[in-house]
Homo-oligomer: A and B are copies of this chain.
């Protein structure tokens, strides 16, 4: 079985777990939208990283499945609540919960997802369960902090460094929680746990910057969302911040004008893409992704040479070259 096949096998494992995880159906106003969210798919990157990190330190995949499902549900909790705050109407090509139902339902579904995430995590059998639950919890804290920064940034002037702190909390932390928890369940040494945590943080950062790039260069259908969504929402991404600092005269004014605006045309998105290209922002973002992935891979070098480690290298490569 090659890595691509193994990835799909693990993804199917997670999908099946999540499909069977929730037996309750009442109250219907809660469980119907909740199951809708969990059936929404996604790349299942975080749970697969939990499984691989566990294997990479010599643990059994099966031992990490509860925690993997837990972290995927946690991720979905953040999506449901962030979508309310960001007024996002679609996600993975489907209507968001607060669009299909209403805001109250979406608040409650998010809350319940967070509780269910803990329920799954706490099924884990490990002498290190208290540490595992604490790492998970600090992940939730940082995700909230990251989202708060993200919303603050919409209203004030920020730098690329501010942005990196924000995505470190909002995206990087959750990926590092995945790899750290996997390593703890596999009962890794302190050095192994640290290596996998750092791998996750770097891979997560690369993943987010790549996401920013794909917002302008990706395939609308494959991504399941509109191209230029970040521009539309005025999200201060790596690209925007880097380009704005370097753009001159008319382009700088144009960038500012477009980003302040609520309604954005396809032509405006094209203009932004042109400015990102001409200022070199696009190139620098891609270079940064490459650099983060290279650094992440260096962390893996501290682990034993196993199949799981080889697959983590493959995984890094997939993140680097993904187009959706």
Residues of chain B within 8 A (CB-CB) of A112 are 140-141, 144-145
Which residue in chain B gives the minimum CB-CB distance to A77?
A: B111
- The one of B77, B110, B148 that contacts A27, using a Cβ cutoff of 8 Å: B148
Q: Which residues of A contact B (CB under 8 A)?
A: 24, 26-30, 77, 81, 84-85, 103-104, 107-108, 110-112, 114-116, 118-119, 122, 129-130, 133-134, 137-138, 140-141, 144-145, 147-149, 151-152
> How long is the Cα–Cα vector from A110 to B112 in the complex, in angstroms?
12
Tell me, rounded to whole Å, the shortest Cβ–Cβ distance linking A97 to chain B.
13
Residues of chain B within 8 A (CB-CB) of A118 are 118, 133, 137, 140
Q: Known contacts A81-B107, A145-B27: does B115 contact A122 (CB below 8 Å)?
A: no
Other than A29-B152, A85-B107, A122-B137, give 18 A-B pairs with Cβ distance below 8 A: A27-B149, A27-B152, A28-B152, A30-B145, A81-B108, A81-B111, A103-B103, A104-B151, A107-B107, A108-B151, A114-B114, A116-B141, A118-B137, A119-B141, A122-B130, A129-B129, A130-B130, A133-B133
Which 4 pairs of residues, A with B, have the shortest CB-CB distance?
Answer: A115-B140, A30-B148, A27-B148, A112-B144
> How long is the Cα–Cα vector from A119 to B112 in the complex, in angstroms?
18
Tell me, rounded to whole Å, the shortest Cβ–Cβ distance linking A54 to chain B.
18
Tell me, rounded to whole Å, the shortest Cβ–Cβ distance linking A274 to chain B.
33
- The one of B84, B108, B149 that contacts A144, using a Cβ cutoff of 8 Å: B108
Q: Known contacts A122-B130, A122-B134: does B84 contact A151 (CB below 8 Å)?
A: no
Which residue in chain B gives the minimum CB-CB distance to A130?
A: B129
> How long is the Cα–Cα vector from A118 to B114 in the complex, in angstroms?
11
Tell me, rounded to whole Å, the shortest Cβ–Cβ distance linking A255 to chain B.
25
The contact sample of 24 A-B pairs, CB cut-off 8 A, is A24-B145, A26-B145, A27-B145, A27-B152, A28-B152, A29-B148, A81-B108, A85-B104, A85-B107, A85-B108, A103-B103, A104-B151, A107-B107, A108-B144, A108-B147, A110-B111, A111-B111, A111-B144, A115-B137, A115-B140, A118-B137, A119-B134, A122-B130, A129-B129
Q: Known contacts A119-B141, A129-B130, A144-B30: does B108 contact A111 (CB below 8 Å)?
A: no
Which residue in chain B gives the minimum CB-CB distance to A141?
A: B115
Which residue in chain B gives the minimum CB-CB distance to A142?
A: B115
Residues of chain B within 8 A (CB-CB) of A149 are 27
> How long is the Cα–Cα vector from A133 to B130 in the complex, in angstroms?
9
Whether A137 and B119, one on each chain, are in contact in the complex, defined by CB atoms closer than 8 angstroms, is yes
> How long is the Cα–Cα vector from A140 to B140 in the complex, in angstroms?
15
Which residue in chain B gives the minimum CB-CB distance to A149?
A: B27
Q: Known contacts A29-B152, A138-B119, A148-B30: does B111 contact A84 (CB below 8 Å)?
A: no
Residues of chain B within 8 A (CB-CB) of A26 are 145
> How long is the Cα–Cα vector from A122 to B132 in the complex, in angstroms?
10
Tell me, rounded to whole Å, the shortest Cβ–Cβ distance linking A171 to chain B.
16
> How long is the Cα–Cα vector from A291 to B116 in the complex, in angstroms?
34
Tell me, rounded to whole Å, the shortest Cβ–Cβ distance linking A198 to chain B.
22
Residues of chain B within 8 A (CB-CB) of A134 are 119, 122
Which residue in chain B gives the minimum CB-CB distance to A153?
A: B27
> How long is the Cα–Cα vector from A110 to B151 in the complex, in angstroms?
16
